[in-house]
Structure 1
């Protein structure tokens, strides 16, 4: 059977605004461009699918205009929907403000996706070779987090678990964070999140410290224009350089990275090669506006073949 990425996180609707600058407290600013589109977990699944890894959305979705938009875009991307819709609430949304440098700032209103409970997780039928993706947003939610903390330790050892703690990492309760760290085969986060988890400012040192807490395959710390730090088990950190590009929009860059990394692992690539492929996918993603801007496998192949070798 073909391996899949089974995403237990959160597809939300992104209300994206491109701004000349963030407003001051109490102020306002006119957007130069805006769009409303499904985002969040959709970006990871689209990134994986464009690299050849089929994806299934095992998170929750709601009843209402945002839920309809999310399901429509999931279907358009060829992503399987595992759970039934919730009847009593709509899918949540994020307001995404993008400044001229491409940096984005979020404010999120949770909805149906924050209601993933034990019965919903029991509905997921995993197959040999599947990769399970866990989002830090889910771990921080009062319903999803405890349910995932009980479910993750029950997974077969042959199932690869990829955890991305996300920007809410400090809001994940310790009783939820500990089992997520323990079961994660791959812990993928950015340098800010790694620093918050470890108290260490150096990404390589933070990655090494995290690797002592995961207990499985390894840790990946994304360092933006510098690339990423890879630590496998007790081996020394390895710096995998980035691909220089002109940044237009960083929204979804981390999602493109982790989706491409998961797809590369599913293909059997060595972790360092998988990170290099993920770096290339993220580099291409930030050259485009929009959340689901992950490149195709052919586009990544071209960049890898033409980029200078250090």
Structure 2
């Protein structure tokens, strides 16, 4: 990896409204939340995880003009994340997702898309990519009718030397087959959790799914299968490799996968080996789930301190 590159997210940032509840109410029911949190989520989780490792990051997406968009711009500035500022005067506001978090840490989502789901080709004109950059795309953004078409078209024209990272997300079954196939062939790094990769490859075991996906991929590409509390798997020239987990006391699983992917890519961009970068990502994700909130990635010094132990 070239250490002079940027991490570029082409997609969306939305607002997360998190409600911590004792249980999910039945249809027509009600439940009192013990805690409520209001914070940027979606692509912000990955961007913040990357910048906290000392890697420059750029957000290439729309930001609304209402109170939610204003909050997103404030937090991006606080984190040192550059934005293309593709919002327009008088535009709609950024969308939001309501997340119900149960005591186990499991989450239930309801999403209301906003201006971030309407990326158009002229929004990306100012995006001057270098071959040293790494571009990240989420499966969520490929699902939006407007943004999905824009992103898919842009990626077909992108310089093939630019490394593409793809996280299919839990709605992988809803992604258009041709877009999913393009990402399988084009992405340098695919990172997916157990459920996603098994559904994609129509396999019951994560190891079989990871090996099958890797067998259908270009040389020098990487498949990482996140297995939660069991660690992670990747496939290299020697075959399937397991990277152990760091035990954690789970409080909130929100953003753990994003933290894992962001830290993994950041450590690879910093020149670490694949195994050590995934080990760092496992540690970061384990720290993330011990805190409430969507963007809880630790900083590099905290990850390295645990690695040295």
TM-score by length of 1: 0.94
1:211 to 202, 211, 214: 214
Q: Secondary structure at the match of 1:265?
A: helix
- 1:140-151 correspondence to structure 2 within 5 Å: 140-151=143-154
| CA distance in structure 2 between the partners assigned to 1:206 and 1:105 by the alignment | 26
Q: Equivalent residue for 1:8? A: 10
Matches within 5 A, 1:185-264: 185-215=188-218, 217-232=221-236, 235-264=238-267
Secondary structure of 1:61's counterpart equals coil
Inter-partner Cα distance in structure 2 for 1:11 and 1:229:
28
The TM-score, its normalising length taken from structure 2, stands at 0.95
Q: What corresponds to 2:87 in structure 1?
A: 85
Cα 1:61–1:235, aligned 2, differ >3 Å: closer, same or farther? farther
Moved more, 121-130 or 16-25: 121-130
Task: Please report how far the alpha carbon of residue 9 of structure 1 lies from its aligned counterpart in structure 2 after TM superposition.
Answer: 2.0
Rounded to whole Å, the distance in 1 between the matches of 2:235 and 2:114 is 35
Q: Is the 8 A contact 1:15 1:36 kept in 2?
A: yes
**8 Å contact from structure 2 (residues 18, 99) kept in 1:** yes
- The size of the alignment, in residue pairs, is 305
For residues 196-224 of structure 1, the C-alpha deviation after alignment (integer angstroms, 9 at most, x for no partner) is: 11111111111112223442511111110
State the secondary structure of the residue aligned to 1:157.
coil
RMSD: 1.4
Q: Which residue of 2 aligns with 1:28?
A: 30
CA distance in 1, matches of 2:201, 2:290: 31
Question: Deviation at 1:73?
Answer: 0.8
- Structure-2 residue corresponding to 1:56: 58
- Asked if structure 2 preserves the Cα contact closer than 8 Å seen for 1:66 and 1:92, the reply is yes
Q: Say whether the 8 Å CA contact 2:21–2:101 is kept in structure 1.
A: yes
Structure 2 unmatched runs, 5+ = none
Distance across 1 between alignment mates of 2:97 and 2:235: 32
Which residue of the other structure, out of 253, 272, 275, is the alignment partner of 1:272? 275
**Unaligned segments of structure 1, at least 5 residues:** none
> CA separation in 1, counterparts of 2:301 and 2:258?
18
2: CA distance between counterparts of 1:98 and 1:204?
A: 29
Matches within 5 A, 1:73-222: 73-86=75-88, 87-215=90-218, 217-222=221-226
2:34 is aligned with 1:41: no
Distance in 2 between residues matched to 1:61 and 1:287, nearest whole Å:
30
